[in-house]
A and B are shown apart, each in its own frame.
Chain A
């Protein structure tokens, strides 16, 4: 809460002009019939997603040229609010001219980005993001139908939120793609947890197999591990100064392992980290020399300088290395 949150209710003012224009006059609204497709030898694909009882439903129509899998025409019908209609319209627009294989790569982000007036300003407020997620889902469904891939997979996917019919896969993907960190964001983006709330955490009126809190924690944990992994792989470039203490120690260890320890070992010595102390001006790393290094004259001059400058170069200028 702060000054900008004191006034609510200006939801529609946060829509881009494109959203407003498409809601008022959607360009791809309508249906494609079997007859139209038959006369030119094209294949008709019609897929539904959502339900009126969820507050949003969309039907996507594709006319596909089977010679090259190209979507030559796409239309939609939608039960929903302004952003649902505008997102559906933009989704249909983005499909036209693409092959089915290309179309399936269209994400909710692409739809929302395409609805922006300028690249920096979101087209819709966060609580309306779910409208574009639905566009993403219905495309995948249509593509599955056309390609005949694993039609049953849509039936066996794990649905975490029954009310909004959001699958485990979608949730993991949306959390990852949009870097979501809270349950509220998940609800804004997917609608999951926005209805009966049973799927948010245990203790709701219905027991569930999966809960949003666990999924979020799981994905965040995976993302964190990947980040560390990537950081380690990249020689720990990342923002060292903002890392947690444990991350810092690991990063320091990684640099020592990669660039320092081998040279010490060649000389019959080694080094271990004793402690790391963080202050606004310095990051002090206390080390202890082992083996031949212990007592070596260079250990407080040249070797120390080499260790410190390596860590400074790879991690942070604030580092001081202090042998004990």
Chain B
């Protein structure tokens, strides 16, 4: 059985989304900025997609939702343009973010640090969550922007965006949230929170890759990242990616209609999988309270089983999962989220992330439970962590001081 449990990395495009996109490749292909009928033919569908986007996150008509090529573009746009607007051409010189943001935020922040911007990387608590009062205590008069994700990709933990938004509003600081792991998974209501900018990505909610969006509260100023033909009201130039915009709108509509029911259905399968693994295996733990987690995500640590080794065995069983741990990534870092939440160092290399989707079936969950347990059994049989015969005197591994 093929089971894809890496939906926080990307998702299958819903066939209904593909169907909605298809006419806009070879039938209705005119440039929407053209005056002729071929250009304007796509306008009703684009308007519909825009409406679906606004409805999907309950944005106000005064707000902008600008389509981008991906959420990485949206994140870079906010960080670099706030730098231009508020730091290069303003009095501010400070950005607040967290240790466990997506690389598109962290790398952009490192870049800005190289340009002389001060950046504070906030720590997370043992649940993997940044606490609102921590954010408050690090905002200074020089702070231009707070950038904090809505939900974390590794743990699925949901951050207190409403509280942080209120703090930023009170302090008069711009607030950006990377909403990639939240939009389409949990209710996101932009009129209920005070957020200035929010990044989104279609392929995380069964839309196509190569399309994202940036929500901009009250259509406020943000210098464009891409200059050109003044599309999207001059906010983001580049010929409109019509089929993908339509795909994103459709995907968001499908993900957000009856979202409570969808969440309950995914959470039921997730909880069953999590409970089975926690009760069926010894020396395992999962990260974060389920009640405050996206309903599709499990980050489980398995003592004595290195993450990439586990992925290997799962892959042999045709199960796709992921890990941010040492061997899997080129930079040999341990799972940064596991380290950030204060997990023991030795557990930072044993994290496996399982992320479900609304297409995950009960039969798939049964299969994963069985194969997951047999993989753990096999790898623990090989593992030095479970060896019985102890080293010859003097043969122990030396004292070791990790510095994370």
List the interface of chain A (C-beta within 8 A of B): 8, 11-12, 23-24, 26, 29, 31-34, 44-59, 61, 76-85, 127-128, 130, 141-142, 145, 151, 154-155, 159, 162-163, 165, 187, 191, 194-196, 198, 205-206
Contact = CB atoms under 8 A, between A and B. Distances in A.
B330 A85 contact: no
A29 B381 contact: yes
B97 interface: no
Given A29-B381, A49-B397, A79-B306, A23 B312 contact: yes
B384 interface: yes
A49 B394 CA distance: 11
B403 A162 contact: yes
Nearest to B312: A82
Given A59-B387, A82-B308, A145 B381 contact: no
A152 B179 CA distance: 55
Contacts of B233: none
Contacts of B349: 52-55
A78 B398 contact: no
Contact of A56 (B306, B331, B386): B306
B283 interface: no
A33 B392 CA distance: 11
B331 A194 contact: yes
Nearest to B331: A194
Nearest to B390: A46
Contact of A151 (B316, B391, B394, B404): B394
Contacts of A162: 400-403
B345 to A, nearest CB: 4
Contacts of A78: 382-384
Contacts of A45: 392, 395
Contact of A53 (B305, B315, B395, B400): B400
B346 interface: yes
Contacts of B348: 53
5 contacts: A31-B387, A34-B389, A44-B389, A45-B395, A47-B391
A127 B332 contact: yes
A215 to B, nearest CB: 18
A96 B267 CA distance: 52
Contact of B395 (A77, A84, A145): A145
A138 to B, nearest CB: 9
A47 B395 contact: yes
Nearest to B349: A55
B381 A54 contact: no
B332 A55 contact: yes
Given A53-B346, A85-B382, A195-B333, A48 B395 contact: yes
A78 B383 CA distance: 5
Sort A-B residue pairs by CB-CB distance and give the 6 closest, nearest first.
A55-B326, A196-B403, A53-B345, A194-B332, A52-B346, A81-B327
Contacts of A12: 312, 315
Interface string B339-383: 000001110111000000000000000000000000000000111
A49 to B, nearest CB: 6
B334 A57 contact: no
A8 B334 CA distance: 19
Contact of B392 (A23, A145, A205): A145
Contact of B389 (A33, A49, A79, A130): A33
A47 B397 CA distance: 8
Contacts of B401: 162-163
A56 B328 CA distance: 12
Given A154-B398, A206-B403, 15 more contacts: A29-B382, A47-B391, A53-B344, A53-B345, A57-B385, A76-B384, A77-B386, A79-B305, A81-B328, A82-B308, A127-B332, A141-B395, A159-B398, A162-B402, A163-B400
B309 A54 contact: no
Interface string B307-322: 1110010011000000
A216 B395 CA distance: 29
Given A31-B387, A81-B309, A191-B332, A57 B397 contact: yes
Contacts of B325: 55
B395 to A, nearest CB: 4
For A31, A76, A80, A196, which residue has the most chain B Cβ atoms within 10 angstroms? Answer: A80
B394 A84 contact: no
A177 B349 CA distance: 29
B247 to A, nearest CB: 24
A137 B333 CA distance: 21
Contacts of A48: 384, 391, 395-397
B389 A55 contact: no
A143 to B, nearest CB: 11
B309 A55 contact: no
Contacts of B308: 81-82
B340 to A, nearest CB: 14
A195 B327 contact: no
B184 interface: no
A140 B2 CA distance: 44
Contacts of B328: 11, 81
Contact of B309 (A82, A130, A187, A194): A82
B398 A79 contact: no
Contacts of B400: 51, 53-54, 162-163, 165
Nearest to A34: B389
Given A52-B349, A163-B403, A31 B395 contact: no
Contacts of B307: 81
Given A55-B325, A196-B403, A145 B306 contact: no
